[in-house]
Amino acid sequence: MLFREGEPTSGMFVSLGAEVRMERVGPSGEPITIHAAKPGRSFAEASVFTDRYHCDATVVMSGEIAKIPNSVLLSGFANPDFSTAYNRVMARQVQSYRQVLEIISIKSADERVYAAIVAGLHEGTVIMLSRRIALSHEATYRALRTLVRAGRIENPGRGQYRLPSRQNH
């Protein structure tokens, strides 16, 4: 655990080699992934403006993580180049989160999983995908089987799913 929901904040982080999953507990007690930080990605940016972390952060693949103290970030905002670059990254994250929220709002499990595959959200395991789109892993597996049978997606290997390959004629 890097930090737990409710702990005092001290800064944001950048993954230099680790994979970190940020999760909250859903209404039925299930974990919901709100962000999966891959190497080279930042996370816990909101902590710069809050007193406590709003979720748990778990390292799922070990590697280096850099912590940027709140004081350093806040002073960096005085620099227009830094501020612009930071806001550009945040804008991309907002777009990504909105896309996930749109997908989660799809009621049909089959259509939700299909939309997630189309959006490229299946990175890692099926269980990670199910957490990201707020479905049980059982419902996600059933939807994947249905989509493969219908020819809407392909299953080239265990745990791998993608859109069908287009054949050039």
Q: Which domain holds residue 94?
A: 1-105
63: left (phi over 0), alpha (psi -120 to 50) or beta: left
- Give the contacts of 94 (CB within 8 A, at least 6 positions apart): none
Same domain (yes/no): 96, 39: yes
Same domain (yes/no): 117, 101: no
Q: Output the pLDDT for position 123.
A: 83
Same domain (yes/no): 71, 131: no
Same domain (yes/no): 118, 132: yes
What's the gap between Cα 14 and its chain centre? Answer: 14
State how many domains the chain has.
Answer: 2
Mean pLDDT value across residues 30-52: 88
User: 56-70 pLDDT, tens per residue?
Assistant: 999 998 999 999 999
pTM of structure? 0.67
Same domain (yes/no): 122, 148: yes
Question: What CATH number is associated with residue 79?
Answer: 2.60.120.10
Of 73, 105, 137, the residue at which a domain comes to its end is 105
Write down how long the chain is: 169
